[in-house]
């Protein structure tokens, strides 16, 4: 009797890996100019090494910035993949299934064949069919963690949702915002926060987590290129996720914005906005500051507008606003247990149907997929107003 397709595929995924393909680059530049597909062999793992086949790996903005050479954290360029020149593999996030593990990996980390792994910290390089690395580079998803979870859901849980989770919980940089009488250890039930880039992966995650925790959100988005109808559709989509208020950047730029929010949203000032999440910068960030309560905090985790954050002295002197940054890469590196706590909470919400995936554009990667298809998919992420997050989904590799 023939085995069911799913069983056959799972068996295929956990067979020993001897060959792999990876997108690599030798020098920083535009993806279309520097990425190439490289084949290499993989030796059986020994000691604490783990060999794993990738199931899915997303294409995040930080990955593109890394290839371009503009991201603060850069990978090591080596000849470990038997390249003639030193090369690096992009991709900071993904999920892989263990095909083989050295005895040390099993004894120290409990990692064994068929386990699912996510990346403990960025820089490992996930845009490849298979990888081999020390067990300390991974976080294991146990059977309970991955029950009812798809590879694309597991592959996208450790960056955007964890960023939202950590900032709403009160983390900045690689440490925590010092607690005070207003904030405690993060947003409390009933408290408000404001965010721009609300349609992003982090924005959508923040909306849903806040709703689960009883907090309320004001969400700023760009007007859609299709006009008012398309913008209204986006607003409805975010409301369906749990957003309390959704407005455009144009509305935030309008005269009387802060008075309108105070009267229509904040109960004539009786409610307060305690936290702002900023991934845009420029005027959008300044508009957030106008509606924050005295003593509140704006956390910057991105700069999509590529404009500086100019803070009027009055916001610092008379309203005592705090301005901080957050870098999920450093946070994850220094707080592995907190990251795993966030991952498990989000996966649990997904399993219960209380957390929706971001829209995704799946890019199928099989052994025979051509280099140009993969390179064009990466380059395509630079286009504005995309319909979904790009993600490599690995098939027969």
Query: E strands, the chain, where?
Result: 19-24, 36-41, 49-58, 95-101, 116-119, 130-134, 138-141, 171-172, 175-176, 192-195, 216-221, 245-248, 273-278, 297-300, 322-325, 360-365, 389-394
> Residue 301's closest CA among 309, 310, 290?
309
Helix (H, G, I), strand (E, B) or coil at 235: helix
The residue annotated as part of the active site, out of 71, 171, 301, 365, is 71
CA 253 – CA 200 distance, rounded (Å): 20
Across-strand partners of 193?
Answer: 217, 275
CA 369 – CA 361 distance, rounded (Å): 16
CB atoms within 10 A of CB 14: 16
CA 106 – CA 390 distance, rounded (Å): 33
CB atoms within 10 A of CB 389: 21
* Dihedral over alpha carbons 306, 310, 315, 321 (to 10 degrees): 40
CA 21 – CA 19 distance, rounded (Å): 7
CA 278 – CA 241 distance, rounded (Å): 20
Q: Under a CB-based contact definition with an 8 Å cutoff, are residues 31 and 64 in contact?
A: yes
Residues in the chain, overall count: 397
Residue 71 is a catalytic residue: yes
CB atoms within 10 A of CB 358: 19
Across-strand partners of 58?
Answer: 391
CA 297 – CA 395 distance, rounded (Å): 45
Across-strand partners of 251?
Answer: none
CA 358 – CA 360 distance, rounded (Å): 6
Residues with catalytic function:
71
């Amino acid at each position: 009797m023939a085995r069911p397709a799913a069983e056959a595929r799972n068996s295929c995924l956990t067979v020993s890996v001897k060959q792999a393909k990876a997108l690599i680059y030798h020098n920083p530049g535009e993806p279309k100019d520097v990425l190439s597909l490289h084949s290499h062999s993989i030796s059986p793992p020994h000691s604490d090494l783990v060999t794993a086949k990738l199931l899915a790996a997303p294409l995040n903005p930080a990955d593109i910035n890394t290839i371009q050479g503009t991201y603060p954290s850069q990978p090591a360029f080596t000849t470990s993949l038997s390249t003639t020149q030193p090369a690096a593999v992009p991709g900071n996030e993904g999920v892989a299934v263990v095909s083989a593990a050295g005895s040390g990996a099993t004894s120290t980390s409990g990692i064994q064949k068929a386990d699912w792994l996510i990346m403990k910290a960025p820089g490992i390089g996930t845009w490849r069919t298979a990888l081999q690395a020390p067990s300390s580079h991974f976080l294991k998803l146990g059977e309970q963690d991955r029950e009812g979870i798809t590879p694309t859901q597991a592959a996208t849980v450790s960056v955007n949702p964890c960023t939202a989770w950590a900032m709403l919980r009160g983390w900045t940089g690689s440490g925590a915002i010092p607690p005070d009488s207003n904030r405690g250890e993060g947003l409390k039930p009933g408290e408000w926060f404001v965010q721009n880039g609300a349609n992003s992966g982090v924005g959508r995650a923040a909306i849903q987590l806040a709703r689960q925790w009883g907090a309320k959100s004001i969400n700023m988005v760009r007007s859609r290129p299709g006009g008012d109808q398309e913008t209204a559709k986006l607003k409805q989509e975010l409301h369906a996720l749990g957003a309390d208020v959704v407005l455009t950047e144009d509305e935030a730029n309008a005269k009387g914005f802060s008075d309108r929010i105070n009267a229509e949203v904040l109960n004539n000032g009786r409610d307060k906005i305690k936290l702002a999440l900023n991934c845009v910068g420029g005027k959008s960030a300044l508009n957030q500051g106008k509606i924050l309560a005295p003593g509140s905090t704006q956390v910057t985790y991105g700069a999509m507008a590529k404009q500086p954050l100019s803070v009027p002295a009055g916001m610092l002197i008379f309203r005592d606003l705090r301005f901080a940054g957050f870098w999920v890469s450093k946070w994850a590196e220094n707080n592995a247990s907190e990251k795993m706590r966030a991952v498990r909470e989000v996966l649990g919400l997904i399993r219960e149907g209380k957390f929706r995936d971001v829209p995704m554009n799946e890019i199928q990667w099989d052994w025979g997929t051509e280099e140009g298809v993969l390179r064009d998919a990466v380059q395509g992420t630079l286009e504005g107003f995309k319909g979904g997050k790009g993600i490599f989904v690995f098939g027969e590799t």
